[in-house]
A and B are shown apart, each in its own frame.
Chain A
């Protein structure tokens, strides 16, 4: 089955700096890669996703890049703000099989003033 590894487990940045979180996956059949943000005690919320026919996707301060050859994808947050502080999870799935997501273990991002 799919295995997703996520690094780093914790990340502290100063407000205004950029943050990068990296994930690798094992199943070459995976073609859908969402990123979720989870605040303390809340449900995971989708913030951005990318599919294997695209190498990069951007939404305001958030961007995701995908390298299918190397089987890794990354989340980039620019101009970080205190409200970006949360746990971020990457995930991978193969569409056409009910999109069963395999999650990474999460990155706790702390944005300090």
Chain B
């Protein structure tokens, strides 16, 4: 299993541009999450999804949109990039049903996308 993968790894945007951050997991996890991590800070939840077709806002959703058309993919859309969106973005997933080895709440993180908005 590749686990959670994210593309791109790095991106520089100009103010007002738009882009989509891609996230894919191959572990058949129901739950997926998007976090942002500002320098020297913890992670803040942007959006999450409990399954295909179901998404909900987290702590800091303004300026972002998500969709979940399949179990595997959970893209994050920035419509009008602003300097305040400069951050590292992490996607994560966790299973609905746990196993002996992996409890249901364990979140697995992707490698992150470092985004700079100038």
- Whether A44 pairs with B109 at a CB distance below 8 angstroms is yes
Complex interface: stretch among B14-22, B37-45, B65-73: B37-45
Q: How far is A82 from B27 in the complex, measured between Cα atoms in Å?
A: 33
Residues of B within 8 A of A46 (CB): 106-108
Number of A residues contacting the other chain (C-beta, 8 Å)? 24
The number of A-B residue pairs with CB atoms under 8 Å apart is: 59
**CB within 8 Å for A98 and B42 given contacts A43-B90, A43-B109, A44-B90:** no
- CB neighbours of B110 from chain A (8 A): 43
Q: Which residues of A contact B104 (CB under 8 A)?
A: 95, 99
B52 interface hit (Cβ, 8 Å)? no
Contact B42 A105 (CB under 8 A): yes
> A residues within 8 A CB of B43?
44, 89, 101, 103
Interface size range of chain B in the complex? 20 to 34
Chain B residues in contact with chain A, CB under 8 A?
31, 33, 40-45, 48, 50, 56, 58-59, 90, 94, 103-112
- Of B40, B59, B108, B112, the contact of A106 (CB 8 Å cutoff): B40
Of B41, B45, B111, which contacts A101 at CB under 8 A? B45
The answer to whether B48 and A98 have CB atoms under 8 Å apart is yes
Nearest Cβ distance between residue A51 and chain B, in whole angstroms? 8
Give the distance in Å from the alpha carbon of A106 to the alpha carbon of B37 in the complex.
11
**A91: chain B residues within 8 A (beta carbon):** 42
Q: Which 3 A-B pairs have the closest CB atoms?
A: A103-B42, A99-B105, A43-B109
| Contact among B41, B58, B59, B107 for A99, CB-based, below 8 A | B107
| Interchain CA distance A34-B43 in the complex, whole Å | 13
Q: Which of A43, A93, A104 has the most CB of B within 10 A?
A: A43
Residues of B within 8 Å of A49, CB to CB, are: 103, 105-106
Residues of B within 8 A of A104 (CB): 42
CB closest residue in chain A, given B6: A43
